[in-house]
């Protein structure tokens, strides 16, 4: 084998030290070059067996096609990106399925971005609808300014009917309620951090949903972290980008990411680590940013971002702190826990069950490894609603069979799907920790103004 044929290194550890100098065979890549990843695929199809969409919809050709095969096809000039890429729900399960380190979701994200940019009609209903869903954050401040009006209007059947007919947003789902006081408003009114501590500082990436829709989750994080003596910073932030990646709106995502990386990098300079309470937000900062963008400090932000519960496990003795504690109130007795795909992909799927097992009187039952099926904005689209509910069927069955009063998860849209499919009320793990650590007073007031 001549040195010119030296195979592309497939991330063999230790290979970095090799003195081997490759000869330039291909012209310098002007755009993202995923060839090494595509060449790693040996067609075992493990990714396909993990794809929740392909399992219920045989029109979807699966992640192996969307990733390495499509990438190869695209090397031929006369091939467009196949429109089936829009059926991918961006659950990212294929990433951890692959035994051969193929960056599948990165390929899907770039293909989807190219499809939307170059092939989707910009005046189409689909584009408009996707843009609105992807940029839900843009509407949210407006709705939050007039939450009662917004909730009333959104709840009207005529609004839902119009949403479906005009935009293709399913009328089957209840729009999430906007709160009368956002988390950031609460935070400002409260006077910001109650604890100052130059040695223990976190920058909280709350994301959109816990700001506009479930501030009780964000408040729980604040109380739990202050309990451990942390100084909390709440930097300016934009959407994490998750819904934008899923809709191929890469330019919108890039703008949002630029703001986030800048603000979070500044917080790192101030000695903080970054924590997020939403599993898709942390996934986005940790994995998708470095895969798709190269702003200054993108890697540093990724490497210093943590899931909120994981951070406490590693930096505090969370389990000992929880041992022997109990929580008042029936709603905290038994949980049906669903691990979101984006938690699973971060190796966090067992965490909640492990941590909650330390608290007396709380039983959390894992309802299995299936996908909830909503995948962010995916299940909101009229054409995906049925697929989304079919995917969720297994989780619904297991939740119904579980001996539990309340549902539990860390992902806002999984929680919508769990509630929609089973009628359970859904809580976030941080709310349970808050109740156990800070006391029942604030637990009962979890949904009331408190603080």
Partner 1 sequence: MAIEDDVLVIGGGLAGATAALAAADAAPDVRVRLVTYKQSTLRHASGLIDILGYAPDSPEEGPLVDPFDALSDLPEGHPYERVGSEAVREALAFFDDVAGDAYAGDHTDANALVPTHGGTVKPTARYPVSTADGLASDDRDALLVGFETLPDFEAPLAAAHLEAAGAPFSARGATIPFPGIVRDDAKVTRYAHLLDQDETVTTGAGETGAREALATTVAERLADESRVGFPAVLGDEHAAEVRADLADALGADVFEVPMGPPSLPGMRLEDLLYDALEDAGVRVTSGVPVIDYETATEADAVAADGGSGADRIDRVVVDRNGTEIPHCADQYVLATGGLVGKGVRSEREQVFEPIFDCHVPHAADRYDWFVDDVFGEQPYARFGLASDRDLRPLDAGDEPEFANLRAAGAVLGGYDFAAEKSGAGVSLATGYVAGTRAGEEADR
Question: Is residue 350 a contact residue for partner 1 (CB under 8 A)?
Answer: yes
Nearer to partner 1, 46 or 259 (CB): 46
Look up residue 202 and give its two tokens.
Answer: 């976190």
Nearer to partner 1, 260 or 345 (CB): 345
Separation of CA 139 from chain center = 19
Look up residue 86 and give its two tokens.
Answer: 């829009």
Question: Is residue 62 a contact residue for partner 1 (CB under 8 A)?
Answer: yes
Beta-carbon contacts of residue 167 (< 8 Å; ≥ 6 apart): 125, 128, 129, 132
Question: Is residue 242 a contact residue for partner 1 (CB under 8 A)?
Answer: no
**Which helix H or strand E contains 138, and what residues bound it?**
helix 136-145
Nearer to partner 1, 184 or 315 (CB): 315
Question: Is residue 306 a contact residue for partner 1 (CB under 8 A)?
Answer: yes
Nearer to partner 1, 226 or 321 (CB): 321
> Footprint of partner 1 on residues 404-443 (CB under 8 A)?
none
Beta-carbon contacts of residue 100 (< 8 Å; ≥ 6 apart): 10, 40, 41, 42, 44
Q: How far is the CB of 151 from partner 1 (least distance, A)?
A: 36
Question: Contact letters (x/-) for partner 1, 2-21, by CB under 8 A?
Answer: ----x--x--xxxx--x-x-
Question: Contact letters (x/-) for partner 1, 261-300, by CB under 8 A?
Answer: ----------------------x--xx--x--------x-
3-state SS, residue 119:
coil
Count Cβ atoms below 10 Å from residue 80 Cβ, excluding itself. Answer: 11
Nearer to partner 1, 169 or 274 (CB): 274
Question: Is residue 347 a contact residue for partner 1 (CB under 8 A)?
Answer: yes
Comparing C-alpha atoms, which of 449, 439, 367 is closest to residue 404?
367
Q: How far is the CB of 103 from partner 1 (least distance, A)?
A: 12
Q: Which of 216, 310, 410, 434 binds partner 1 (CB under 8 A)?
A: 310
Q: How many CA atoms lie within 13 A of 250 on its CB side?
A: 19
Question: Is residue 99 a contact residue for partner 1 (CB under 8 A)?
Answer: yes
Question: Is residue 373 a contact residue for partner 1 (CB under 8 A)?
Answer: no
Nearer to partner 1, 216 or 288 (CB): 288
Question: Is residue 394 a contact residue for partner 1 (CB under 8 A)?
Answer: yes
Look up residue 285 and give its two tokens.
Answer: 């900062």
Q: How far is the CB of 98 from partner 1 (least distance, A)?
A: 6
**DSSP structural state of residue 82:** P
Residues in the chain: 451
Count Cβ atoms below 10 Å from residue 41 Cβ, excluding itself. Answer: 21
Look up residue 312 and give its two tokens.
Answer: 């406490």
Nearer to partner 1, 110 or 345 (CB): 345
Look up residue 268 and give its two tokens.
Answer: 């790192």
Nearer to partner 1, 133 or 339 (CB): 339
Question: Is residue 323 a contact residue for partner 1 (CB under 8 A)?
Answer: no
Look up residue 441 and give its two tokens.
Answer: 């007073």
Beta-carbon contacts of residue 440 (< 8 Å; ≥ 6 apart): 327, 328, 329
**Which helix H or strand E contains 232, and what residues bound it?**
strand 231-233
Question: Is residue 225 a contact residue for partner 1 (CB under 8 A)?
Answer: no
DSSP string, 148-214: HHHHHHHHSHHHHHHIIIII-B-SSSPPPPPPSS-HHHHHHHHTS-S---TTSEEEEE-TTHHHHT-
- Tell me if 120 sits within 8 A of 127, measured CB to CB: yes
Q: Which stretch binds partner 1 (CB under 8 A): 39-47, 117-125, 173-181, 202-210?
A: 39-47
Residue 100 vs residues 11, 44, 220: alpha-carbon distances, Å: 10, 9, 39
Nearer to partner 1, 346 or 422 (CB): 346
Nearer to partner 1, 110 or 305 (CB): 305
Q: How far is the CB of 16 from partner 1 (least distance, A)?
A: 11
3-state SS, residue 213:
coil
> Footprint of partner 1 on residues 352-371 (CB under 8 A)?
354, 366
Beta-carbon contacts of residue 131 (< 8 Å; ≥ 6 apart): 247, 249, 252
Q: Which stretch binds partner 1 (CB under 8 A): 52-60, 197-205, 373-381, 400-408?
A: 52-60
Q: Which of 117, 172, 177, 316 binds partner 1 (CB under 8 A)?
A: 316
- Estimate the share of the chain in helix, then strand, then coil, as percent rounded to the nearest 5: 55, 5, 40
Q: Which of 41, 86, 91, 98 binds partner 1 (CB under 8 A)?
A: 98
Size of the residue set binding partner 1 (CB under 8 A): 56
Question: Is residue 66 a contact residue for partner 1 (CB under 8 A)?
Answer: no
Site residues (CB under 8 A) for partner 1?
Answer: 6, 9, 12-15, 18, 20, 44-46, 48-51, 54-56, 58-59, 61-62, 65, 96-101, 283, 286-287, 290, 299, 302-306, 310, 313-317, 344-350, 354, 366, 393-394
């Amino acid at each position: 084998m001549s040195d010119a044929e030296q195979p592309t290194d497939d991330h063999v550890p230790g290979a970095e030290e090799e003195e081997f100098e490759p000869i330039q065979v291909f012209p310098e890549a002007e755009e993202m070059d995923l060839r090494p990843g595509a060449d790693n695929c040996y067609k075992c199809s493990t990714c396909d067996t993990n794809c929740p969409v392909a399992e219920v919809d045989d029109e979807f050709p699966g992640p192996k096609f969307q990733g390495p095969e499509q990438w190869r096809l695209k090397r031929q000039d006369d091939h467009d990106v196949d429109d089936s890429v829009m059926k991918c729900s961006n659950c990212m399960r294929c990433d951890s399925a692959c035994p051969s380190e193929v960056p599948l979701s990165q390929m899907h994200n770039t293909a989807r971005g190219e499809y939307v940019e170059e092939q989707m009609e910009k005046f189409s209903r689909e584009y408009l609808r996707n843009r609105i869903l992807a940029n839900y954050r843009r509407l949210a401040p407006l709705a939050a300014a007039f939450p009662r009006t917004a909730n009333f209007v959104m709840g009207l059947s005529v609004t839902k009917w119009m949403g479906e007919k005009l935009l293709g947003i399913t009328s089957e789902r209840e729009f999430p309620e906007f709160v009368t006081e956002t988390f950031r408003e609460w935070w400002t009114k409260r006077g910001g951090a109650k604890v100052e501590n130059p040695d223990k500082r976190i920058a909280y990436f709350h994301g959109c949903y816990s700001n506009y829709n479930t501030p009780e989750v964000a408040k729980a994080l604040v109380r739990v972290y202050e309990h451990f003596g942390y100084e909390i910073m709440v930097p300016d932030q934009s959407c994490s980008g998750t819904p934008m990646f899923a809709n191929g709106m890469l330019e919108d995502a890039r703008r949002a990411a630029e703001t986030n990386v800048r603000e979070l990098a500044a917080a790192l300079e101030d000695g903080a680590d970054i924590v997020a309470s939403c599993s898709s937000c942390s996934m986005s900062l940790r994995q998708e940013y470095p895969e798709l963008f190269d702003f200054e400090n993108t890697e540093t932000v990724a490497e210093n971002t943590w899931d909120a519960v994981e951070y406490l496990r590693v930096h505090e003795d969370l389990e000992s702190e929880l041992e022997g504690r109990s929580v008042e109130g029936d709603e905290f007795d038994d949980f049906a826990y669903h691990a979101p795909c984006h938690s699973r992909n971060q190796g966090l799927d067992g965490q909640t069950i492990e941590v909650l097992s330390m608290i007396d009187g709380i039983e959390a039952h894992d309802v299995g490894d299936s996908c909830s099926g909503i995948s962010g904005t995916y299940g909101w689209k009229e054409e995906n609603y049925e697929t989304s509910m079919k995917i969720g069927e297994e989780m619904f069955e297991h939740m119904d069979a579980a001996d539990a009063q309340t549902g539990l998860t860390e992902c806002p849209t999984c929680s919508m799907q769990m509630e929609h499919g089973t009628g359970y009320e859904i809580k976030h793990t941080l709310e349970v920790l808050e109740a156990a650590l800070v006391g029942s007073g604030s637990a009962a007031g979890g949904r009331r103004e408190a603080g």
